[in-house]
Chains A and B, each alone.
Chain A
């Protein structure tokens, strides 16, 4: 991207007219777009070292294909800088590994949001926020990378709200959840390393969320009490519509360090929570979710033949309980994230010219 022009050479009237043009064409998610030009899109392609015709996603049922070139145009419009584009492509690829994004996920009544987790040196190089206020706003890469994903879904897949997109309420921050992991204050290996990539790799993991909900617990020094608080939030019935449900936790550094100090790694946390997150059959009966129909959907039953306690997580595998660390080391506030399905369990390396 060329350096900023001297202020006197800027033409705000031309800029405004171009922005209004983008609105008029129906391309916007509601916020102003950066009008895309070929020279700028070419800078994005060059930064990624990718060919514009390469197909990186398709929804045959909608007769739509995403190419690298179209992704670049949408990343420009989202406000990305060229050097962010390899991260956009890695996030997109990570999302295509989720079954729901290849089916009806983007059209769903649940209106799911991508959760994008960035690891490795690319965080610092591009200025991703990994610390305070990590769920946003305030940081250009964290804000524009997920917005680019949303614009690709809107413009390239043609999935518009009130038309092919049927979100009942949607969720806050649908196209704005992109975290860099706080590797420096995490007691555990980076998420991408846990997912099997080499240590130090710049990489992106992603999945779809129904929502996020905080666990604020600042006054216990007991790892078991702290995890019991997470088990309660994970196990709540409202988030539970099939036999099982999957979740994730974005731990703040304080919680992560407390747990690590008591000997808990990711695997031990998953084992603890898989056993304890859930509700009794009586509690589920009280909300009309104690039984299952033949398709595995929860509905009212008579409780017969059910165990006293029903676990919510299907097992203690990473795909059903994603664990990352992000945020400031200033309070015991973490976020439980509600997965739309399961996580692929994978991370995608960021392939950029700069890292070739």
Chain B
């Protein structure tokens, strides 16, 4: 009987830690009066894009305020204290831009954490990173997790182009925060 060939992954009989699936946070029918958290990940134009979307949610959808903060380490999921701050100060969260190998994956991880914390979340990734964003969703046991994509690249856009991009993303963000899907 020859020796067995060893599996180098350590995952041969592994069931994912987060395999319970995801119940999305309860949605409201409208965004009127809600406090909108904006969590940018330091990627260039991310803060501006989120701020512009936030402004449109206030002027066009009656959101009350926006609360902006930065996730300093774009590569890692948001630390617990940052999640807790949003939980205290906001009703919904928008985060992004997933615009690199690790930050697109971690943006999706953040969105899932926000949903688990009871906050509707809209995650925005560049379309060049769909595969890695979806890989993270699978890793978290939520393979069908819905996030928004915007055309790559984002970092080279002018301020005016970012404003236009925000307008285009707005309907998807509203859908995501109110129904949990985007058209």
Contact = CB atoms under 8 A, between A and B. Distances in A.
Contact of A158 (B2, B11, B109): B11
A61 B108 CA distance: 11
Nearest to A78: B8
Interface of A: 14, 18, 21-22, 25, 27, 35-39, 41, 61-63, 65, 67, 70, 73-74, 76-77, 100, 103-105, 107-109, 151, 155-156, 158, 162-167, 293, 295, 297, 299
A107 B101 contact: yes
A107 B132 contact: yes
Nearest to A41: B6
Interface stretch (B24-32, B72-80, B81-89, B172-180): B72-80
B32 to A, nearest CB: 32
B8 A73 contact: yes
Interface string B1-31: 0111111111100001110000000000000
B34 interface: no
14 contacts: A37-B4, A39-B3, A61-B106, A104-B76, A104-B101, A104-B102, A107-B75, A107-B105, A158-B9, A164-B101, A164-B132, A164-B136, A166-B102, A293-B44
B131 interface: yes
A63 B5 contact: no
Given A38-B6, A108-B101, A163-B135, A63 B77 contact: no
Given A163-B132, A166-B132, A73 B139 contact: no
A163 B131 CA distance: 6
B44 to A, nearest CB: 6
Contact of B8 (A27, A109, A165, A299): A27
B5 A107 contact: no
Given A61-B106, A104-B75, A295-B44, 5 more contacts: A18-B5, A41-B6, A107-B132, A155-B9, A158-B9
Contacts of B8: 27, 36, 70, 73-74, 77, 151, 155-156
A269 B72 CA distance: 34
Most buried by A among B2, B8, B77, B103: B8
Contacts of A37: 3-6
Classify the secondary structure of B's interface with A. loop
Contacts, number: 100
Given A104-B102, A158-B9, A38 B136 contact: no
Given A61-B76, A158-B9, A158-B11, A107 B102 contact: yes
B6 A164 contact: no
A297 B97 CA distance: 16
Interface string B107-126: 00100000000000000000
Interface residues of B, number: 34
A70 B75 CA distance: 25
B9 A27 contact: yes
A21 B135 CA distance: 24
B77 A61 contact: yes
B181 interface: no
Contact of A167 (B2, B11, B101, B129): B101
Contacts of B100: 104, 108-109, 166
Contacts of B10: 65, 67, 70, 156
A78 to B, nearest CB: 10
Contacts of B129: 166
Contacts of A165: 101, 132
B9 A21 contact: no
A104 B98 CA distance: 13
A295 B101 contact: no
Nearest to A160: B135
A151 B3 CA distance: 21
Contact of A36 (B6, B75, B76): B6
Nearest to B141: A63
Contacts of A25: 7
B49 to A, nearest CB: 14
A155 B75 CA distance: 20
A104 B103 CA distance: 8
4 closest A-B pairs (Cβ-Cβ)? A104-B102, A104-B75, A166-B101, A37-B3
A109 B9 contact: no
B42 A295 contact: yes
A289 to B, nearest CB: 13
A37 B135 CA distance: 30
Most buried by A among B6, B16, B100, B131: B6
Contacts of B75: 100, 103-105, 107
